[in-house]
Amino acid sequence: MSQISLRHLHRGPTTTLIFTIVRIEGDPVSISYDHTITVDNLIQASVKFEYIKCTFVPYVRMKKMEGVYNSPVPVTIQSDGFKEQFFCSDYWIEVKLNPFVHTSAGRTNFKCSNTSYSDRAHDITATCYIIEINVTVQAIIPTGFLPRKELYEDTESMDFQLHTKDGTVAVHKAVLFLHSDMFKMMLTNNWKESNEGQINMDGITVQTLKHLKDYMYLGILPEEGLEPLLQVAAHYFMDKLRADCSAKLVESVNSENINRLIALGCEFNIPELVRGLIFRIPDSIVNDMNYLKIDKSNDKVVEEN
């Protein structure tokens, strides 16, 4: 009888499901993983594979975990050329992925003494398949605590300022509390920033502060300017922003920015970014990298061919 097993790997913000299927020739055309799969305690899923014309077609069923906040949970599924985003709610949805064409990791013959075939042992052909499915769940702030657009536009009640050399952005202290324990400690104690009603955030531009405000109030990440925003998240211990920026940067990695992103992850101690880059970087990008740049100091760069 065909058998299936599962191994989990956590690669930065992505959970990789690695299925090992041993299929005996002549067995039924479908096989299911019988145990419920949970990802980040936000969604639950089950997976079924149909064997059609010597290929496996995966079907993934998923929905939110019980007790998760009311908003739909964004989930991105990627495998073997397939990549789409879905929104999990309280009801099961089923996603059909692309067929896995060349998944066979080995083929072996073994003896089977099943007397249903005959009175003597028979050689039975079995094939082992390794199938990988990547699941990225974007944890979002519960709806009940997410500042609405009206609050974002209510400049009259804003009681704090984020300041940098080229501009200032007004915000609410309460919104800062939601996103960072460091901000909360800073503004609820007798610190300089609390007394002055502003914090000086050197080394970034006012545009990055605007991106930060858009994220805190509306949950929006920019298409450009993610790297300085990630630095802010790392410096002020904004864990969710750090994870979301890392996930989006990993998706945009290429041969031109890979060295810079790895250096960024190491400098600001962002392990989820480094792990995501290491495990998710396509082979084509690795092949394009013909040298390694190592910063020895601000004015010296050593290149190794």
Q: Taking residues 101-125, what's their average pLDDT?
A: 49
The answer to whether position 129 is within a domain reads: yes
More confident residue, 225 or 116: 225
Give which of 14, 27, 15, 12 is closest to 4, Cα–Cα: 27
The answer to whether position 132 is within a domain reads: yes
The answer to whether position 230 is within a domain reads: no
How far is Cα 148 from Cα 155, in angstroms, rounded to an integer? 13
Q: Taking residues 91-112, what's their average pLDDT?
A: 64
The answer to whether position 9 is within a domain reads: yes
Q: How many domains does the chain fold into?
A: 1
Q: How confident is the model at residue 68 (pLDDT cuts 50, 70, 90)?
A: confident
Which pLDDT score, from 0 to 100, does residue 286 have?
A: 57
The answer to whether position 90 is within a domain reads: yes
Q: How confident is the model at residue 139 (pLDDT cuts 50, 70, 90)?
A: low
Range(s) of the domain holding residue 113: 3-137
Q: Which residues contact 302 (CB under 8 A, 6 or more apart)?
A: 293, 294, 296
The answer to whether position 94 is within a domain reads: yes
Q: Which residue has the tokens 């067929």?
A: 99
Q: How confident is the model at residue 287 (pLDDT cuts 50, 70, 90)?
A: low
The answer to whether position 126 is within a domain reads: yes
Beta pairing, strands 82-88 & 73-79: antiparallel
The answer to whether position 38 is within a domain reads: yes
pTM, rounded to two decimals: 0.52
